[in-house]
Amino acid sequence: MTWFNLPLTQDPPSGDGANAATPVVVDAASASAWLARQPQANALGLQSSLLQALEAMNGWRLPAQKRFDALEALRETLFAVDDECRRRFERKPLPLAENEQRVFDTARRLWHAAATGYLHCLRSAVDATASGGDPARITQFAACVAHRALVSLRLELTNNLLAAHEADGTLWRNLHAILATAEEFGVRDTTVVDRLLGETRDSTIGGQYAMALLLHLAQAWSLSRVQFLACSRWFARWRETVPVLSERPQRDDASGKAAAAAPTRLLALDLALDRALPRRGEVPGIPRWLVLDGVLRKMRQRRRALAEGESPEALKLGSELSADDCSKLLDTLMARLKEAARRAPLRACDGTNGSESPRLGVVAGLPDIYHWLGGPTLAATDDAALRLQRREQEQIAIFGHVVRNEATAITPEVWQLAQEECDACQAEDAGTDPAKANQRQLRLCRPAGTGSGRLSPRELIAAKLPGETGVQLLRVDSVLARLDGSLSLLVHLLPGTPQALLAEARERSGGRQLRETALLLAITESAAASDSLTGQDDVPQPGDGKQQYLAVVPAGLPGRSSALALNGSDKHRYRLLQCREHGVGDEVWECSAAP
């Protein structure tokens, strides 16, 4: 079974015809010599040079052992360059800036090129078996190159997850094909040593395949960097407890009684697909089953131990997260894996959900939301000339030009409300985050070419939802860039009805008077307990004793102010009480109406 995509090959150029400026990499010696000529201090330059060398080698017809030796000679440098360049695109707002996108594309292609080289070797092993080669030697070689190829694809997937980009079909097709080929050789569960990974000393092909699927099912693109590192470390230690079965285990024995050892958390796979999972109702062409019972048991055991007072270090969970944060992350991962095993996706998510998807107007960022809600321009509340001059100076210092006039009307972007289930986000509806169990979550899509603003988790956006006349505030939980250029966002609704506020403060250091945009969320008792789409109700009036207030203010403003007052358009004043959460460029505070 060798349906993985491989480029056509030709004989490599001879030594006399090779360009001296671009040495030919054909074996370990030439690879080491070529590497010695490269500028090691320039990570971005070395990244591009490595990609060119690997893609050139993948187009040449080489003996499998020589190709393997050349790849091994370059592999340590691949890891070092990838670690250095990854910080340029990981956890950046989406869509990526041009330079960030270029580095990400090169990093993704680099691991894909490495995997392609090892797949050439694996194909040679298949051909050698058909031609009657030494079975023991071929099998040992096949186990090593299949493991290397699968690790390379898993690292390509890791870069996709860190950049919050959807993986393409070629990656999943090759992952499935490697597992199927390893099964044909009988090496799926063979242990292969790989010290460069820095995770465990050795692992199996089946374990690496399972880890790639676990990261996908855990929606690792939505985790913070620290959470992602912890999640990857845990899955690396537990991946061998997630077997891949060729036959579905029977839950009942011959007498009709439930089998004692039958797994209860099974995930159906199809190795003939070019995506991670089959859709609901599809008949798999090459069925396999991923057993999640073992990894879920590991999580439950550690969750229970943390509740009993054990430290994360004692449980080998690392020291980056506190015990409480470890417990929350374990709960989230367990919920997502259980939900993935409970149901398969209904259909593919193309990012647009078709032309019939409900449309809604969306504005992102506190200042634009303030103006969209009808808040007066700050220049109108201060000396117009001085205010406008100061704002323009600030914009020139930050952006190099004046961004826009504050009086410019805000035009909302047109987004789409996604349907309830999709392929890449199948577990998000019910298993995303137990901490948000009482919050209504929605999945939105920003079509490709809509707007130029960049979005990231914890961003504040406002939307006019279908069927509603008012504006609702939403907090972004995760953002994923689709292959078609659209952005898929999971958001939760903030309670209450937003109103524009003017924040007046005096700066602690210089005593300068500040006026900033802010928002007020007025929450009625019925809205707080409502399970409707928006939770909106009539706007409460101060003093009726049935409302709560939340204020959204610019990030850092309360900390750098000696006095802060919030003035509403209804002439009421509000004071801050306690910070509830921090967002991207904003803070949410509990507040009360001033007497």
pLDDT in tens, 367-409: 999 999 988 776 555 454 455 566 667 767 666 666 555 445 7
Nearest to 109 by CA among 168, 64, 62: 168
Assign 428 a pLDDT band (cuts: 50, 70, 90): very low
For residues 36 and 38, give the distance between their C-alpha atoms in angstroms, rounded to a whole number.
Answer: 6
Cβ proximity of 586 and 555 under 8 Å: yes
For residues 244 and 207, give the distance between their C-alpha atoms in angstroms, rounded to a whole number.
Answer: 9
Amino acid in position 2: T
pLDDT at residue number 574 = 87
Nearest to 199 by CA among 75, 214, 207: 207
Cβ proximity of 277 and 287 under 8 Å: no
For residues 542 and 574, give the distance between their C-alpha atoms in angstroms, rounded to a whole number.
Answer: 10
* Other Cβ atoms within 10 Å of 511 Cβ, number: 8
Q: Judge whether residue 507 has pLDDT over 90.
A: no
Which residues lie closer than 8 Å to 366 by C-beta, 6 or more apart? 460, 517, 518, 519, 552, 554, 585, 586
Higher pLDDT, 385 or 580: 580
Cis peptide before 13 (omega within 30 of 0): no
Tokens of residue 435, six digits: 């901490």
pLDDT in tens, 140-196: 999 999 999 999 999 999 999 999 999 999 999 999 999 999 999 999 999 999 999
pLDDT in tens, 47-73: 999 999 999 999 999 999 999 999 999
What class does CATH assign to 28-188? Answer: mainly alpha
The correct CATH number of 497-593 out of 2.40.10, 3.40.50, 2.102.10, 3.30.9 is: 2.40.10
Q: Judge whether residue 357 has pLDDT over 70.
A: yes
Tokens of residue 276, six digits: 């991670």
pLDDT in tens, 299-350: 999 999 999 999 999 999 999 999 999 999 999 999 999 998 876 543 434 4
pLDDT in tens, 470-501: 899 999 999 999 999 999 999 999 988 899 98
pLDDT at residue number 546 = 59
Phi and psi at residue 154, in whole multiples of 5°? -65, -35
Tokens of residue 529, six digits: 């307990």
Supply the DSSP symbol for 567: E
Tokens 């802060």: give the residue: 564
Amino acid in position 321: L
Assign 572 a pLDDT band (cuts: 50, 70, 90): confident
For residues 523 and 539, give the distance between their C-alpha atoms in angstroms, rounded to a whole number.
Answer: 8
Phi and psi at residue 373, in whole multiples of 5°? -80, 0
Q: Tell me the pTM.
A: 0.86
pLDDT in tens, 232-251: 999 999 999 999 999 988 76
Across the chain, mean pLDDT equals: 85
Q: Judge whether residue 547 has pLDDT over 80.
A: no
Which residues lie closer than 8 Å to 161 by C-beta, 6 or more apart? 215, 216, 220, 221, 228
Domain ranges of the chain: 28-188, 223-344, 359-492, 497-593
Which residues lie closer than 8 Å to 545 by C-beta, 6 or more apart? none
Distance, CA of 274 to chain centre: 20
Assign 354 a pLDDT band (cuts: 50, 70, 90): very low
Long-range residue pairs from 540-544, CB within 8 A, at least 24 positions apart, any chain: 542/570, 542/572, 542/593, 543/593
Query: How large is the average pLDDT for residues 75-82?
Result: 97
Assign 561 a pLDDT band (cuts: 50, 70, 90): confident
Q: Is 289 helix (H, G, I), strand (E, B) or coil?
A: strand
Higher pLDDT, 334 or 466: 334
Same fold, 28-188 and 497-593: no
Assign 439 a pLDDT band (cuts: 50, 70, 90): low
